[in-house]
Each structure stands twice: as C-alpha cells, then as structure tokens.
Structure 1
C-alpha cells in the first residue's frame, strides 16, 4: 500500500483523486484478504473436516418431494410408490443368511435334567446367538497327471490324455489364483508387493515380478473380450465419461507430464447393457477419448455424452453434471469461517437448498418409465431450474469474480445449457456420479501403488479394472466372474469369432455367477 505523502495537495480535485486511489487500493487488499481467508478455510476443511457433501436442512425437502407424483394424472396401477420411511432401531444388524452356518447345540446332560423337586425337566424354548468365524485363505496344489498310452504291437508312438487349456500355458497359476490376485489389486487396492508378503506368510514364494508378468499375460488373453465390450459400448445412446491422472514412468516422452486414465460408462437410467471401460491415454485432450469412441452414437436422434466438451458435435450432444455445479457451492460454504456457516440465509446455503430440491425430485422419479420421468421433469424440475438460474443472474454482480461463491455462480451460468439438458430426455441422469463411483476404486488404488512403470502396464491395468467394474455394475461377484472367464476363454482356442464371446458377457451369466452382496 502506498505511503501517505508528507504534504497534501491544495486542489480539491487532486485531493479527491488521491482519496479515491487509496480507497481503491484498500478495497483490493480487503478482497485479496478475503480470498486468502476462503482458501485457508477450504484447506483446513479438506484436511481435517468431513468429506460429506450433505445438503443443509435436507429434512424440510421430504414433504415437498412426496407430493410430486400426486400431480401426475395417471392410474395408481401405472405408478408404484417406492419411498418408505422406517425408524432406525438401535443394535447391530443380523449376519447375512447367505453365509454358511454351523449349528452348535448345547444341552444339559441326562443326569442334570431333574428339577430340585424331583420331577424331570422338559424343553421350554431356545436362546440363539450368532458368532462370526473366519477361515484364512486356503491354498492347495492341483497336480495334473496325464496318463500316457502306447501300443506294444506297432509301437508307433505314445498318446496322452488331454489336459484342459490353461489361462497361462506352462504356468502353475490357476484361474482361481489369477482371479484372486486381480480382485485383490484392482478392487481391494492391494498392491502386488503387499500380496507378495501375504503369499510369503502362506509359505508360497511369489515375487512381484512374477505377479506383474501374470497380470500382463492375463490382459493379453482378455483383450479380445475387452474389444467386444468396446464394440457394444459405442452402440449405446448415452454415455458418461470421467478421467483422473496417472503417473507412467517410462512413457516415451522427453518432457515429463501427467498421463490420464479415462473411464466410460453406459449412463442411461435404463441402459441396455451396463458396461464400464477404462482406457489409458497420455493426455487429457479431447482427441484422446475420441480414439476409443470413434463411430460413437450411431443413431438417428444423436447421442448424449455426459461431461466433455471436446466430443460435442451434431452427433454427440454434451450433458453437464449437476453434481459438479453443486460441488462449487459446497466448496464456497466450506470456505466460509465457521461462524458464517451457521447462517442459514447465506448465499451458499440458499443455492444448496435449491440443488437439494432438484435431487429430491430425482429421488422421487426413481423407478418410473422414461416417458413418465420426462413429463415430470418438465412439470416439476424445469420451474426449479428457472428459479436457480434467476437467482444466479441476480447475484452475479453482488459477488467478487475470484471469490468461492462468485466462481460457483459463474460456473453455473456458463455451463447452464449443458447442465439443464437432462430434462430433454427421461433416460439421462442428472449428474455424472455413476461414472465417478466407478473411477473411485482406481483413485484409491493409486494411493497405494503410486505409478505404472510402462504404458503396457497401464493398458493392462485399464483392461483389468474394466472387467472388475463391469462385473460390479452388473451385480456379479468379480472373483467368480473372472474365474469363470479365465477358465472358459482358453477353451475357445486361438481362432474364434467375436460373437463367440457373447456367451461370457456379464448380463448373460446372471444365473451362473454368484451375485454381488
């Protein structure tokens, strides 16, 4: 800040200009101080606070949301109310009935079944209690013995009984062992070096180099199946996309920069097939995702892609993510001092309540048909969206451009056309959260294994993550599904038609594979 001069000018205009200059400097400093305070509060909350984005005053929205379906003029038989409220009872949940049970019965010895009065005791009931017992991983060796046969008469040669094709030829890795390792890393985020230690405790010497080599070979075996999923994915009318950073050490680039793991998910409310595909790319540019989505959305009405501007075209329409806009206001609330957050009439709180009403409507629309959801969105959601837009326009000039609340309002206004596009089709979801849920396991795992050594390893990781998350999206137990694939695919041999893989698609195996609990 400028220091005051020793003498003040005598002219009124010059003195007035000096005062205005100093006032402008003071305003800039106060605005900058407020920005630093917001950043400090946000950093403190990110480090020590809860990560939940729960809306303030959610309870006041329930009664409003319950009344939405009443206005739809249809027979009661056409709609099914799925919302119910139950008071939570204290106490622990009962153990799942799907877990195998061993009943241990405790009875008094025959000699003790006599009352003090001398009469015999009879059974008057039972008291039951449950206790969960765990059996550590059990490992066994399957010894394959191929009997050889020969003819003593001609002695032309020896014939051996055939052995089933294995996922990795000349390896002692079975389908179940490979499925176990894949699920441990790509679903439970257990790095290979930790699995090496676990196997060592079981008296099995498996180096991480061996485990890594197995993952690469399994990826090669499953690549045709991944390609088949890709063929089906690009036929979907609605997709969701997301990406996150990835560190690849030897990616061939002289200048070290971030690589990316992209994710694509069939994103409609009523998607024909639930497919989740990861893809490694060295960049975040739109052309990177265009490679996987070449020929995307071949339909007369065009396709919908949630989130990315780079692919927006006449045949691919961009849909914004309402959760991203809402998150900006949630960050603005967290950036406020603790005392200010308690003010229920603050701008951030007001905006969050408006978003909460939109999400309350979507919760009520769950389970309806595409046409019913479309009509209700036009009737109920559209007025709320117009109210949110009007509120943002009214408060645009009241907020500083660099403040957290100012950024939230400007982001919402700039993205408005894509954010509100979900009301144009009852099959489109309000946000991109489904894709973000599937990329979260990769983000969690990245904290443990930190990097990939080569692009080949990154591509293998993308493939194996894809199969695990596709199984999860179709409510199949990933271990059982991968074990089935690794057992059945080698039996097809080297030359087979892509259509032969359709029998192994997850939605065709719901009766053979155990569902995910």
Structure 2
C-alpha cells in the first residue's frame, strides 16, 4: 500500500512539474507573440503613416502639375461664364444670415439682372476717315492724262490726299550775342587789334539764356523729345540714335547717357514732390512688376522688380526702384509714415501692415477670383458659385462705369448693391470652408482670409 501511495505521489509531482514547464513555455510563447504583434502593429502604423504622407505628396504634386498645365497650356482668360444661366441660385442654406440681409442680397441680385437686360448693346462704330489737317505742308503732284487733244476742256479735278513721312527734322538754334565797347576803349586798341586791358565796365554783352544742362549743346526741346520717346513711346536710346543718324546727325551713346543723367537730376525735385502727394492720400495701390536689367558683371539680363504706388483718388502714380529688390524692407522704407488704406495683390511682404495701427490692408478681387478659377476642376460647384458672386461685384462696377458715376455716386451704388452680396459671400465662405478643406478650424480660416 505504501508503495502504491509513493508511486502516486511521484506521478503527481511529475505531472505538476510538467504542467509548470508547459505553463512557463506558454508564457514565453505569449510574450513572444505579444512582442511580435506589438512590433507588427508599430510597423503597420509606421507604414500607414508613410503611405498617407506619400499620398499627400502625390496629391500635392498632382495639383501642382494640374496648375502648371492650366497656367501654361490652357486658355489664359479668367472670365467666367456659366453654362446654364438658370443653373445656380443664391445659396443661403446653413448660413447664419439675417432675414434683412437675405432681402438685400436678393434685391441687389434682381437689380443687377434687370440692368443687364435693359443695357443697350453698343453698336460697333464703323471707322471714319478723319480729314488731314490743313496745316501740314502739301507737295503738289500733277498727273495729266495721256493723249489729250486741242478740243479737250478742263471741267474739274479729282483730289486724293495721301499721308507721307520723312525722317524727323533737327534744327540749330543759333544764339548770337553782339559785344559792345565804349568809344574811348575802342581808340585804345593796340596794334594787335585787341584792347590792352579788357575792363568789364567798358564792355557790354548780353547774358546767356538759362540752359538745362551746363557745358552741353542739347536744348530743352531735344532733351524732352529723347525722354518722351523713351518713357512714353518706349523707344530705347539705341533706336533713337539710329533715327537721328538717318537725319545726318551722329550722337554718341556716351553723350546721350550724360544727357539722360543730367535730365533725370533736373526731374528729381518733381519726382519727390509727386511722391509726397501720392503718399499724402489715404488710399493707395501698391504693386511690384518685373523688369529685365542688364548685369554688367555677368553680361546678361536678370529679373529685377520695379515698385508702383498709385493714389487712386488723385489718379497719380510714381515708381520706385531699389536695386531691383522685392524684399519686405523695400516697401517698409517706401511706405514709412503712411496712414490709410493700402491695396495689394496678397504678396507676403505686405503682411506687416495687417496689424499696423493706422493702416488698413486691402486685397484684390482679381487675385481672389484667380484662385477660385484655378479650383474649377477640383471643386466645380463651390468654385462656380464663388465666381458667380465675384462676377456680380464686377457687374456693379460695370454699371458705375456705364453711367459715368463720380466717386460719391459709385460709393452709394456699392453700398446698395455690392455690400449685401459681399456680406452673404463672406458668410458662405466661412460655412463652406470646412467642406473644401477638411480638418481645418476657424482659426486656420482666419489665416487664409
């Protein structure tokens, strides 16, 4: 009995030991499985993140490619004409817009549509040949018919006037200043034929008239012609030199460059005064345009920028060039001390004026419209609606132009028709923004706007 009990105890101990080994093995396998699953999960997350990043990069490159194709290979016109005039209506769904605002927008839309229907289409005028001025010199050329007999009698004449051209005419302004001396000084002339001492009190000669450039034989009319041809008619100096050469007058390039520098210095005071008048207004438009500039070191042209500042109410413009730079420091120095509204194209250099006291930064509808036009293929419905609303604002401006309204009348028209449309359009943008750019909040929308 004792032997049987002993065998049972040994068997139980062996089973317990085997169970413990199996349990430990199972725990090791579970730990290995957990580690493997954890690694696979982390690897899967990493791969998913990498795939999502690649998808975003592919989407970005695809959008860029579509933009470049649209910009360089598609039609450049941004004019928007919807296919069906009755296709879209005013969209107020989901907007926190007041009933009075809805009525104002609908009334403005109705008046714009009525004006478009009533607007008379101007007929294209047929070209009319204007009479040639009588003051032009006529060279008469008589052509007699051949085979005339003695019994032929002249009963009239057919006249045809043709405009012809000869190279421009240069003339010499000869300034003669007679020199006079008193009779006593003349008697004291030496054998050489000259007074022994030329005293200013005994010699009389007229003073030279005021000339624009000292020690130069260029008169004001010639300098004005050269500058007008260059900056108004866009004729470079080398072409003007060639034109003068056709008249028989050879003008060296170095001489013309000197005349140009001297003339520019004479105009400096007018430029500074013009700049003061423009910056004294309370509403200006600023833009920067590219101009090709010759790099003397590299002997080729490079892209530079010329700044333009316009006083809208005075219709005055001045240009500013700072070594071809487009940097923000240029516009900061240019508009130092300005107070009022500044309208720009959205270039980031103007962002410094968003929070500046006394300055109101305005955008440009043409540049805003361009972005919606570029989004037509990505979001046709939203882009079309936005383009239609912007188009209505342009129609209001066209109404003002057609009626030749002054500033006050144009302002009243904008308040009555354009302002309600803009307010409703703004609310539509705020409501539509999350649909167009998922995942962005209101703070990011303010940054976009």
Q: Secondary structure at the match of 1:281?
A: coil
Tell me, in whole angstroms, the C-alpha distance in 1 between the residues paired with 2:57 and 2:270: 60
Aligned twin of 2:409? 372
TM-score by length of structure 1 reads 0.55
Q: Secondary structure at the match of 1:389?
A: helix
2:368 matches 1:325: yes
Residues 236 and 97 of structure 1, relative CA distance in 2, 3 Å threshold: farther
**How do residues 174-253 of structure 1 correspond to structure 2 at under 5 angstroms?**
174-245=219-290, 247=293, 249=295
Answer yes or no: is the 8 Å Cα contact 2:78–2:373 preserved in 1.
yes
Answer yes or no: is the 8 Å Cα contact 2:343–2:361 preserved in 1.
yes
CA offset at residue 356 of structure 1? 1.8
Q: Secondary structure at the match of 2:204?
A: strand
2:78 matches 1:37: no
Q: Secondary structure at the match of 2:59?
A: helix
Residues 346 and 316 of structure 1, relative CA distance in 2, 3 Å threshold: same
Query: Structure 2, unaligned stretches of length 5 or more?
Result: 1-35, 87-107, 187-198, 345-349
Tell me, in whole angstroms, the C-alpha distance in 2 between the residues paired with 1:106 and 1:200: 33
Q: Secondary structure at the match of 2:306?
A: strand
Out of 381, 385, 390, the position equivalent to 1:355 is 390
Aligned twin of 2:318? 277
Summarize deviations over 1:158-208 as a string: whole Å, max 9, x none: 322233211112212121221222122223333323333333333322222
**How do residues 135-150 of structure 1 correspond to structure 2 at under 5 angstroms?**
135-150=166-181
Tell me, in whole angstroms, the C-alpha distance in 2 between the residues paired with 1:369 and 1:328: 31
CA offset at residue 54 of structure 1? 3.3
Tell me, in whole angstroms, the C-alpha distance in 2 between the residues paired with 1:59 and 1:390: 25
Q: Secondary structure at the match of 1:396?
A: helix
Q: Secondary structure at the match of 2:213?
A: coil
Answer yes or no: is the 8 Å Cα contact 1:325–1:412 preserved in 2.
no
Summarize deviations over 1:326-347 as a string: whole Å, max 9, x none: 23334455xx6xxx9xx9x555
CA offset at residue 290 of structure 1? 4.4
CA offset at residue 260 of structure 1? 4.0
Aligned twin of 1:451? none
Q: Secondary structure at the match of 2:172?
A: coil
Q: Secondary structure at the match of 2:289?
A: strand
**How do residues 39-438 of structure 1 correspond to structure 2 at under 5 angstroms?**
39-45=67-73, 51-56=76-81, 67-68=111-112, 85-88=121-124, 92=127, 94-95=129-130, 131-154=162-185, 156=199, 157-245=202-290, 247=293, 249=295, 260-268=305-313, 271=314, 274-282=315-323, 283-297=325-339, 303-307=340-344, 308-311=350-353, 313-332=356-375, 347-366=382-401, 367-399=404-436, 414=447, 416=449
TM-score by length of structure 2 reads 0.62
The count of aligned residue pairs is: 356
Tell me, in whole angstroms, the C-alpha distance in 2 between the residues paired with 1:288 and 1:328: 27
Answer yes or no: is the 8 Å Cα contact 1:325–1:411 preserved in 2.
no
Answer yes or no: is the 8 Å Cα contact 1:167–1:174 preserved in 2.
yes
Q: Secondary structure at the match of 1:240?
A: strand
CA offset at residue 152 of structure 1? 2.4
Aligned twin of 2:190? none
Answer yes or no: is the 8 Å Cα contact 1:259–1:281 preserved in 2.
no
Name the larger-Rg structure: 2
Residues 50 and 95 of structure 1, relative CA distance in 2, 3 Å threshold: farther
Residues 197 and 359 of structure 1, relative CA distance in 2, 3 Å threshold: same
CA offset at residue 225 of structure 1? 2.1
Q: Secondary structure at the match of 1:265?
A: strand
CA RMSD in angstroms, aligned pairs only = 4.9
2:56 matches 1:28: yes
Tell me, in whole angstroms, the C-alpha distance in 2 between the residues paired with 1:43 and 1:23: 30
Which deviates further from its counterpart, 351-360 or 276-285? 276-285
